[in-house]
Structure 1
Amino acid sequence: MVRLFQFVILVTGLSLVALASAIVTMRFAIHGAEIMIPSFKGLTSEEALEKAASLGVAMTIDQRFYSAEVPAGRILTQSPAPGSVVRREWHIRAAESLGPQLRPVPNLVGLPQRAATMELRRLGLEPGSIARLPLNGVSPETVIAQDPSGGAAGVAEPTVNVVVAVAAPPSTISFAMPDFVGQPYATAAATISRAGLKLASIEPAMTVTSLADPAKPPGTVTNQSPAAGYRVDAETQIELTVAR
């Protein structure tokens, strides 16, 4: 019985030792797969890429900014920041310095969008986003605004966004339908004509139906369509019923 008890204790002890050994081995494996990110700032792009590869991490240089402190072609910023602990094969993103801004942003307002793009590329700048705004009185695809503005200096990045004009859709002016019931037909017709010329630039079409009504003087409007208060425009067919 004593021997059996000793055997159980021995097996239990060996199991605990094996478990502890596995935990330690796992910790070494995990920590062995982790690295501390160094600073890449100031390195050339080639040096930074080589250093990242030697550490077992990937690097992408996907942004470029002006900097008066870091020479052109060298790393300006990075993410994750220096000192961060990451696993091997982690992906580092970096920004490259373009050096100081050497010339102000050109004025593109008034240029066709294509010509503006060519001008930016000629100066070593990058065309950014293009927004379109319906606007009459300006040739379509003409630059009407930009960011940064023309002549700007000290900007952070070489990207210039523009707004270009596009043809505005024809607008329809509408107004509330007056109440013509009880008015003489001549008065109603004159009002419709004046309103059409003033608000819609063309005279609304009008259909007149004569109806015998002893309670209304001849030539008086007894009904109308659309009814008073409805929104109408130059395309609306206005129908008047007139007593005879």
Structure 2
Amino acid sequence: MPWVVKHGQDVEVPDVTEKGLEEARDILQKRGLLLVVERQEENEELPEGAVISQSPPPYSWVKRGRRVFVAISRGARLYEVPDVRGVSQRQAMLILDQIGFKTGTITGQPSYEFPKGVVISQIPEPGELAGKDVLIDLVVSTGPPELALMPDLVGKSLQEASDLLERMGLRLGRVTYQSSLEYLPDTVLRQSIPAGGRVRKGAEIDLVVSKL
């Protein structure tokens, strides 16, 4: 936008609010004005280095060579992230809300150590500094892992054993082969957890399987 000069030496002060410091300085210099940083302030809306306010105000008329005083943003104020580990999800959200933080993603995770509904961990970590726009992600206990009854796999083919483990919510672990004249090839000879035992779902079960 073209700028206006009147009476030979008077110029219209441009609006440099929300501009970066160097950009604002260049704009004012082109009008024959001098930028002076008067103070720095925390600001939740403008990034660090942006002009918050100016004096004289925009669109006023001043003499060439006049100084324009500006307040510069330090960026958003940083706050210490509280430690909400070990408290209930509801209590953690209340603590964060009281300080001004918002809860981000909540992820469930089985745990023997933490009761169901209690916060296991958080990101950002406790004690870190963050702006109020940062979301605090929580990992919350879903209680002890669900247990499955270990099936008897001995005598079954490797494929049958693998399929059965999958249906039980278990995983096939390491398979070791051992020569055997008694069993057909790929028959389960031993299993790492005895049949009838309790095992957490998702656990890996190692097998010893026959070969010629």
Question: Shared fold by TM > 0.5?
Answer: no
Smaller-chain TM-score range? Answer: 0.3 to 0.5
Normalized against structure 1, the TM-score is what?
0.39
Query: Which protein is bigger by CA-based radius of gyration?
Result: 1
Normalized against structure 2, the TM-score is what?
0.43
Higher strand share: 2
Higher helix share: 1
